[in-house]
Structure 1
Amino acid sequence: MAKAFASQGDLSEKKISFTQVGEGLYAFTAEGDPNSGVIIGDDSVMVVEAQATPRLAQKVIDCIRSVTDKPISHVVLTHYHAVRVLGASAFGASQIIMSEAARNMVVERGQEDWDSEFQRFPRLFQGHESIPGLTWPTTTFNGKMSVWLGKRRVDILQLGRAHTAGDAVIHVPDANVMFTGDIVEAHSACYCGDGHFSDWGGTLEAIRAYDLDAIAPGRGDAVVGRAAVNGALDRTKDFVDSTFRPVARVAARNGSLKEAWDACRAACDPKFKDYAIYEHCLPFNVARAYDEARGLDHPRIWTAQRDLEMWAALQG
Structure 2
Amino acid sequence: MAKAFASQGDMTEKTISFTEVGDGLYAFTAEGDPNSGVIIGDDSVMIVEAQATPRLAQKVIDCVRGVTDKPISHVVLTHYHAVRVLGASAFGADQIIMSDTARAMVAERGQEDWDSEFERFPRLFEGHESIPGLTWPTTTFSDSMTVYLGNRRVDIRQIGRAHTAGDTVIHVPDQNVMFTGDIVEYHSACYCGDGHYTDWGSTLDRIKAYDLDAIAPGRGDALIGSDMVNAAIENTRDFVDSTYAPVKRVVARGGTLKEAWDAVRAACDPKFSDYAIYEHCLPFNVARAYDEARGIDTPRVWTAERDKEMWAALQG
**Which category describes the TM-score, using the shorter chain as reference length?**
over 0.9
SS at match of 1:247: helix
- Inter-partner Cα distance in structure 2 for 1:198 and 1:80: 20
Residue 153 of structure 2: aligned partner:
153
Runs of 4+ more than 6 Å apart: none
Residue 255 of structure 2: aligned partner:
255
Deviation at 1:253, TM superposition (A): 1.2
Corresponding letter in the other structure for 1:14: K
Corresponding letter in the other structure for 2:217: P
Residue 180 of structure 1: aligned partner:
180
Corresponding letter in the other structure for 2:131: I
SS at match of 2:193: coil
Corresponding letter in the other structure for 1:294: R
What's the TM-score once normalised by structure 1's chain length?
1.00
Corresponding letter in the other structure for 2:87: G
Q: Give a deviation string over 1:215-246, Cα, whole Å, max 9, x none.
A: 00000000000011000000000000000000
Residue 116 of structure 1: aligned partner:
116
Corresponding letter in the other structure for 1:74: H
1:310 paired with 2:310, answer yes
SS at match of 1:306: helix
Deviation at 1:308, TM superposition (A): 0.2
1:101 paired with 2:75, answer no
SS at match of 2:174: coil
Structure 1 unaligned runs (5+)?
Answer: none
SS at match of 2:35: strand
Counterparts of residues 54-203 of structure 1 (less than 5 Å): 54-203=54-203
SS at match of 2:229: helix
Residue 205 of structure 1: aligned partner:
205
- Inter-partner Cα distance in structure 2 for 1:254 and 1:217: 36
Residue 48 of structure 1: aligned partner:
48
Corresponding letter in the other structure for 1:182: D
SS at match of 1:274: coil
Deviation at 1:91, TM superposition (A): 0.1
Deviation at 1:121, TM superposition (A): 0.2
SS at match of 1:3: coil
Counterparts of residues 272-287 of structure 1 (less than 5 Å): 272-287=272-287
Residue 268 of structure 1: aligned partner:
268
- Inter-partner Cα distance in structure 1 for 2:124 and 2:314: 24
Structure 2 unaligned runs (5+)?
Answer: none
Q: Give a deviation string over 1:118-148, Cα, whole Å, max 9, x none.
A: 0010000000000000000000001110000
Sequence identity of aligned pairs in percent? Answer: 83
SS at match of 2:234: helix
Deviation at 1:252, TM superposition (A): 1.0
1:288 paired with 2:288, answer yes
Corresponding letter in the other structure for 1:145: M
Aligned length: 316
Q: Give a deviation string over 1:148-183, Cα, whole Å, max 9, x none.
A: 000000000001000000000000000000000000
Residue 232 of structure 1: aligned partner:
232
- Inter-partner Cα distance in structure 2 for 1:110 and 1:219: 21
Residue 220 of structure 2: aligned partner:
220
